[in-house]
């Protein structure tokens, strides 16, 4: 996996220009990603949707809407954000929604503005079918689909594998027996997580093997997300060829809904050292937190990169980095630095735009990171939003 950026977007960024902690997104990197995705869209005939579950910095919604066909959402609130901020209302960009389980009151709202609604089970579709078809009479553009489970795993981490044994996500082929599909015009599958084309190629083969007889009855097929299309080593030409071949074979519209690929290389998290201590080894306490600001560090788990830092022992000064929370395991990892860390030093965590901002929380009342938009070409900087006590208090009652 080559996660080398196409250019050194943050090489000239000064982390002291923003409050700490702070997420900083480079609009140039974001536009470069969107340009590539738009090229894939044009060459393949697929419609590319931005997955808000990965990156929903809606101050960039107008920019996303300039390049992509729409947005995919995981429920009512993301769908409303797509409609309001990503061109769903004003530019007729598509709003697609999938949920593991819809409540009726949520679905009634979605039926007034969404374009594709994908159900996770036949029981949900049967429960809401008449409601959906009535709504379609007044909104003929409405389409309904089913999420299928090809029982084919490609994920490397069980927590993120939607096709793991006994997964609650998607309908396995055996459950289609005896089911009528009137009213259903599309199928959705998802198996990938930050992967290249080869796992998708295997997934397509598995889908065709299990569901190939149903595909010709459909208008559209959604290939889901997890496509690292904007990565340097991604096989873009192979993806384009595969999508075109699938479209030609089955005469269906193909959708892709990348999440990480939208914001790959586009964001960092600036943090500040608030204390340096020792207990068996040198410790640095930061004003950012694994559990509050980057929970995938603990859940996945993974070790984020820090600009200028290295693995323990590679540079003269080793530290274990941790957050301010009371969670004993709120540890980001062990790193080495060329110089000793001091209170007030700024650290820049790389690749922090996707699946970070969307997962932040205020455990212990720890302050949420500010959000800034920077332009690496012009050096223009805008602090989009800052959070204080009210952001914490307003989440509770």
Chain segment 2-50, per-residue pLDDT in tens:
777 777 899 999 999 999 999 999 999 999 999 999 999 999 999 999 9
> Which DSSP letter does residue 27 get?
H
Return the pLDDT at 22.
98
Instruction: Report the candidate in 208, 239, 319 with the shortest Cα–Cα distance to residue 39.
Output: 239
Q: What is the CA radius of gyration of the chain?
A: 22
**Contact present, 28 and 329 (Cβ < 8 Å):** no
Q: What is the pLDDT of residue 152?
A: 95
Q: Mean per-residue pLDDT for 279-299?
A: 97
- The total of other beta-carbon atoms located within 10 Å of residue 84's CB is 14
50-65 mean pLDDT: 98
Choosing among 3.90.25.10, 3.50.30.10, 3.40.50.300, 3.20.20.10, the CATH entry for 45-263 is 3.20.20.10
DSSP H or E segment with residue 50: strand 47-51
pLDDT tier for residue 52 given thresholds of 50, 70 and 90: very high
Task: Please say whether the beta carbons of 128 and 60 come within 8 A.
Answer: no
pLDDT for position 276: 98
> For residue 344, what pLDDT is reported?
98
Q: Tell me, yes or no, if the pTM score tops 0.85.
A: yes
Q: What is the mean pLDDT of residues 307-330?
A: 98
Q: What angle do CA 184, 190, 196 make, to 5 degrees?
A: 140
Cα 349 to Cα 270: distance, rounded to the nearest angstrom = 6
Instruction: Specify which residues 347 forms β-bridges with.
Output: 271
Q: Say yes or no to pLDDT of 257 above 80.
A: yes
Q: What is the pLDDT of residue 7?
A: 79
User: Quick one: pLDDT at residue 158?
Assistant: 85
Quick one: average pLDDT of 337-353?
98
- For 206-250, the pLDDT digits (tens) are 999 999 999 999 999 999 999 999 999 999 999 999 999 999 999
Write out the H or E segment, with its range, that includes residue 255. Answer: strand 253-256
Domain 267-352+360-393 listed as CATH 3.40.50.720: no
pLDDT above 70 covers what percent of the chain? Answer: 100
Categorise residue 105: left if φ over 0, alpha if ψ from -120 to 50, beta otherwise. alpha
Q: Sorting pLDDT into bands at 50, 70 and 90, what band is 156? A: confident
HSE (side-chain half, CA atoms, 13 Å) at 276: 12
At residue 206, the pLDDT reads 97
Domain residue spans of the chain: 45-263, 267-352+360-393
Average pLDDT over residues 104-127: 98
Burial (0-12, 13-18, 19+ Cβ within 10 Å), 282: middle
């Amino acid at each position: 996996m080559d996660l080398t950026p196409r250019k050194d977007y943050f090489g000239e960024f000064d982390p002291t220009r923003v409050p700490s902690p702070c997420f900083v997104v480079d609009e140039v990197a974001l536009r470069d990603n969107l340009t590539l995705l738009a090229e894939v869209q044009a060459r393949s005939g697929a419609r590319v949707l931005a997955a808000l579950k990965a990156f929903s910095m809606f101050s960039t919604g107008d920019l996303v809407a300039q390049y992509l066909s729409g947005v995919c959402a995981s429920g009512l609130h993301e769908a409303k954000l797509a409609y309001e901020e990503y061109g769903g209302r004003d530019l007729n960009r598509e709003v697609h929604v999938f949920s593991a389980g819809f409540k009726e009151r949520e679905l009634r709202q979605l039926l007034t503005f969404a374009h594709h609604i994908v159900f996770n089970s036949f029981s949900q579709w049967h429960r809401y079918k008449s409601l959906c078809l009535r709504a379609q009479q007044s909104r003929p553009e409405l389409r309904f689909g089913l999420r299928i489970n090809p029982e084919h795993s490609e994920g490397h981490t069980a927590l993120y594998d939607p096709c793991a044994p006994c997964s609650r996500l998607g309908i396995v082929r055996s459950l289609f027996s005896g089911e009528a599909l009137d009213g259903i015009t599309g199928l959705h599958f998802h198996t990938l997580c930050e992967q290249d084309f080869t796992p998708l190629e295997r997934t397509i083969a598995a889908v065709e093997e299990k569901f190939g007889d149903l595909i010709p009855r459909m208008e559209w097929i959604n290939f889901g997300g997890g496509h690292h299309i904007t990565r340097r080593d991604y096989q873009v030409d192979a993806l384009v060829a595969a999508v075109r071949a699938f479209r030609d074979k089955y005469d269906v519209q193909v959708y892709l809904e990348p999440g990480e690929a939208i914001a790959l290389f586009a964001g960092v998290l600036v943090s500040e050292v608030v204390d340096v201590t020792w207990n068996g080894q040198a410790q640095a306490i930061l004003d950012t937190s694994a559990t509050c600001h980057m929970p995938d560090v603990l859940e996945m788990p993974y070790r984020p990169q820090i600009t200028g830092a290295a693995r323990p022992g590679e540079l003269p000064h080793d530290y274990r980095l941790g957050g301010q929370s009371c969670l004993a395991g709120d540890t980001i990892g062990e790193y080495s630095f060329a110089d000793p860390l001091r209170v007030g030093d700024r650290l820049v965590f790389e690749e922090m735009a996707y699946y970070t901002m969307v997962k932040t929380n205020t455990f212990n009342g720890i302050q949420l990171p500010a959000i800034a938009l920077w332009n690496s070409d012009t050096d223009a900087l805008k602090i989009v939003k800052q959070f204080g006590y009210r952001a914490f208090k307003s989440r509770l009652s």
